[in-house]
Amino acid sequence: MDYRKKSEEIFEYVQGIRRQLHQWGEVGFDLPQTVALVKEELTKMGIEHYPVGKAGVCGIIGKGDKCVLLRADMDALPMDETTGLPYASTSGGTHSCGHDCHAAMLLGAAKLLKENEANLKGVVKLMFQPAEELLQGAVDMIENGILENPKPDVAFATHVSVGQPGTTVGRVTYSSGPALYSGDAVRIEVTGKASHGAAAFMGVDAINIAAHIVVALNEIISREIPLDEHSVVLVGKISGGDTVNTTAGSAVLEVSLRAQTEEKRNFLKQRVKEISEGIASTFRGKADVQFVYGMSPLYCDPQAAADAHRYISQLGYTPVCVPCAGGTEDFTAVANIIPSVMLNLGAGSLEEGHICSMHNAGMVVNEDVLPTGVAIYCQCATQWLEENA
């Protein structure tokens, strides 16, 4: 089947699904309308499917010993959309990471793969997952059996990319080996002792402690990470105190960490804990450091990456292998178990006027990317099975 041509023919179908998901803008594991639509569409196509975990859906196409997994995430981010698009979300959730595109493209691919089912040399497993933005959805589906019966031999995922230099519509990139950074969310609860400001010596100022922690955490990058390595330690949120003239009894810092290797990730976590606890006790307070959620760095299987490169080239695109990038993905949970590759699809660059980037409430996707994603999903699955059955 000429997937590139066929994917253009079903453009309106995929666009319609994408716009509907976009308008709902459902978040996290709470995706009732999105999940209902995915199930309904799979049923209409005659594709066997079943729920997995809290809000995941697995579809099955084809028969045989070998199995390819295609993954799309479905969740939006909790922010108020500012695009002004006619199909903008009004729900307080915004698809500013493009997961509406991923789910729609996978449904489009499902349609074509089902049409071509007789020629598939094995099983295609469709993974529609919730809660990627919480880095929890893939893990939840894995814990509930998405990678069993049958166990996939290889997995492919796509992600759109918007608003950066070079994220031109139609550009396809991937990494071979290290692909994305780890990500951790850390919550530091500082406990002091509230007191009247005129008798501050009787209290323990949690805001002062928090301020020292912020400054000290920033030193990790400048003094403890080698020149040729990159890591991120970012205090993204801070709160504390009761009123202008008392010492704060408590303060909370929320910190995000990113690293290129699991070893460096563990180092950052250990240092954040030591520094926070040490500074708090220096000033007679206490710091409780909690690792709220996290994900390892993504490693893309070099063989699967080389295969994907060939398959995508055959569609007439020119895939480019790029170095490890700074984002984090919970597809890593799949890639930690089976050989996997993540494919990045340009969907509007800075040069093309897309001034809002990913996770910005004003981010606008150029929908011309949709057939590209559909064709790539189909070609990767079909050709991998052909070559490995």
Contacts to Zn ion by CB under 5 A: 97
**Cα separations in angstroms, 358 against 92, 95, 96, 334:** 17, 9, 6, 23
Shortest spacing between CB 161 and Zn ion, in angstroms: 9
Shortest spacing between CB 193 and Zn ion, in angstroms: 40
Closest CA to 114 of 106, 129, 21, 311: 106
Please, which residue, 57 or 72, has the CB nearer to Zn ion? Answer: 72
Please, which residue, 122 or 183, has the CB nearer to Zn ion? Answer: 183
Tokens of 358: 């990913």
Residue 297: beta bridge partners? Answer: none
CB closest to Zn ion, residue no: 97
Please, which residue, 97 or 103, has the CB nearer to Zn ion? Answer: 97
Please, which residue, 97 or 220, has the CB nearer to Zn ion? Answer: 97
Residues 55 and 73: their CA atoms lie apart, in Å, by: 11
Shortest spacing between CB 98 and Zn ion, in angstroms: 6
* Sheet with 154-161, edge to edge strand ranges: 48-52, 56-61, 123-129, 67-73, 154-161, 340-346, 172-174, 320-321
Shortest spacing between CB 388 and Zn ion, in angstroms: 28
Please, which residue, 69 or 220, has the CB nearer to Zn ion? Answer: 69
Phi, psi of 259 (to 5 degrees): -150, 160
Shortest spacing between CB 307 and Zn ion, in angstroms: 23
CB under 8 Å to 351, separation ≥6 — which residues?
Answer: 165, 166, 168
Q: Is the CA virtual torsion 4, 340, 334, 346 positive or negative?
A: negative
Please, which residue, 4 or 71, has the CB nearer to Zn ion? Answer: 71
